[in-house]
Structure 1
Amino acid sequence: MNILIAEDEQDIRDLVALHLNKEGFNVFQAADGIEALNILSGEKIDIAILDVMMPKLDGFTVVRKIRESSDIPVIFLTARSEDNDKILGLGLGADDYMVKPFSPIELMARVQAQLRRYYRYTNGKNNNLLSLGDLTLNKESFTIHKGEVLLELNAKEYRILELLMENVGKVYTKKQLYEIVWQEPYYGDDNTIMVHISHIREKIEDNPRNPTYLKTIRGIGYKLEKV
């Protein structure tokens, strides 16, 4: 999933991004309110973490703009602990509010809670995003990221990985993979599938010789495994 952290202090942005990346999120960073809105207009953001006191546009103004077209979760970070500020932020449409200094671990827990609540109340997951560990596949843009790194896959490699990510834990035979992805009859050409699987492992695995995600089920086929 894609998360926006909008905060004018780079040390805080980097700290939050570090923890989010460890949890497998794809992080976009903004140093001011204008940059935050530009990211929101150009990317599919699932949750926004906003500093209240930002240059150019403050967090209150940004959340107003967000609520004109989106109901994604918004968490405020602020050094201001006054009740009036909290009431204003929540009244404008923020979902949660954390006062600096804050615990990154607590922030991660609140991010997860907001996402669970949001997707439960919007009839489940975002069907255009598939996530597994630090892998994120976007079916709208036909892209796959590992953490923040965009992976370069050809069309067949992408389709194989999309199929397997849509059906994590399900074992596909070489025949099934070939006929679904190539949409042609399978005549026992094992090498084609094996080469594509090898190339996918080289791109998604930390150690392709000892894969974490893409497993071989000897004598049957392949599956993606939860990590």
Structure 2
Amino acid sequence: MTRILIVEDEKTIAELERDYLEIEGFTVEIASTGLMGLDMVNKNEYNLIILDLMLPGMNGFDLCKKIRENHNIPLLMVSSKKEDIDKIRGLGLGADDYITKPFSPSELVARVKAHLAIYKRLVGQPKEQELLIRNLKIIPKSRRVYLDDGEVSLTTTEYDLLYYLATNPDQVFTKDQLLDKIWGMDYFGDGATVTVHIGKLREKIDKHVTSPFIETVWGVGYRFQI
């Protein structure tokens, strides 16, 4: 049983999203405020969260940040705000996708299915040997990352992006190649998603090193330096 939580204060929109998802066989619950959503996430197990940005009590940005402190499941942020800065902020806080209103229910269902498939594929990958690259240690068995013996907290997408780059050192990957490999061919997003996740990774693993692990190859993409 796949359980989805919708955090949305507009009842009509929440019920419409729920109806379309239930037609596809998902079990759906609704929270009408940010605080209610946080309480439900802490008390129950969900496979995916659909999170509206404008919520009473606690906005979507703050709720996303709180959820990411303990949960790495797929999180889709929806909002009527179309500015790039809002999208970048949402992805930077740990959202896996950012959908602008209005959108068709069928598009939402397609994105939900795509992210669930990506998460299932990545979590179910066979476990490989530990990687030790300079002062960075990656442990696939537990999906943990350490820098100078201190653990680095990464979202599921951040970890998979780091692991893919680290296991293919000195190779240059375009944003489209990384979107295809990490997010999948059915993903609706664009290169900005990769840019934001690369930026978050750099904040977490490159801030205490003299030579950065992730290098930008201008006009082409990114590569991991050993």
TM-score in terms of structure 1 length = 0.54
Runs (4+) of structure 1 moved beyond 2 Å? none
Provide the residue aligned with 1:33 in structure 2: 34
What letter matches 1:18 in structure 2?
D
Q: Deviations over 1:40-69 (max 9, x none)?
A: 011111100000010000111111111111
Q: Deviations over 1:193-221 (max 9, x none)?
A: xxxxxxxxxxxxxxxxxxxxxxxxxxxxx
Provide the residue aligned with 1:14 in structure 2: 15
What letter matches 1:97 in structure 2?
Y
Provide the residue aligned with 1:123 in structure 2: 124
Provide the residue aligned with 2:73 in structure 1: 72
Provide the residue aligned with 2:59 in structure 1: 58
What letter matches 1:102 in structure 2?
F
**Superposed displacement of residue 121, structure 1:** 0.8
**Superposed displacement of residue 105, structure 1:** 0.0
TM-score in terms of structure 2 length = 0.54
Counterpart-to-counterpart distance in 2, 1:119 and 1:63: 21
Provide the residue aligned with 1:133 in structure 2: none
Equivalenced residues, count: 124
Provide the residue aligned with 1:82 in structure 2: 83
What letter matches 1:75 in structure 2?
L
Counterpart-to-counterpart distance in 2, 1:118 and 1:66: 17
**Superposed displacement of residue 70, structure 1:** 1.0
Give 1 or 2 for the bigger CA radius of gyration: 1
Provide the residue aligned with 1:46 in structure 2: 47
Q: Deviations over 1:139-183 (max 9, x none)?
A: xxxxxxxxxxxxxxxxxxxxxxxxxxxxxxxxxxxxxxxxxxxxx
**Superposed displacement of residue 3, structure 1:** 0.2
Provide the residue aligned with 1:110 in structure 2: 111
**Superposed displacement of residue 6, structure 1:** 0.5
2:56 aligned counterpart, secondary structure: coil
2:115 aligned counterpart, secondary structure: helix
**Superposed displacement of residue 27, structure 1:** 0.6
Counterpart-to-counterpart distance in 1, 2:116 and 2:63: 20
Provide the residue aligned with 2:143 in structure 1: none
What letter matches 2:77 in structure 1?
F
RMSD over aligned CA atoms reads: 0.8
Unmatched segments (≥5 aa) in structure 2: 126-226
Counterpart-to-counterpart distance in 2, 1:69 and 1:42: 12
What letter matches 1:64 in structure 2?
K
Verify the 8 A CA contact 1:5 1:29 in the aligned structure 2: yes
| Percent of aligned pairs with the same amino acid | 46
Verify the 8 A CA contact 1:28 1:39 in the aligned structure 2: no
**Aligned ranges for residues 125-140 of structure 1 at < 5 Å?**
none
What letter matches 1:32 in structure 2?
T
Counterpart-to-counterpart distance in 2, 1:103 and 1:84: 23
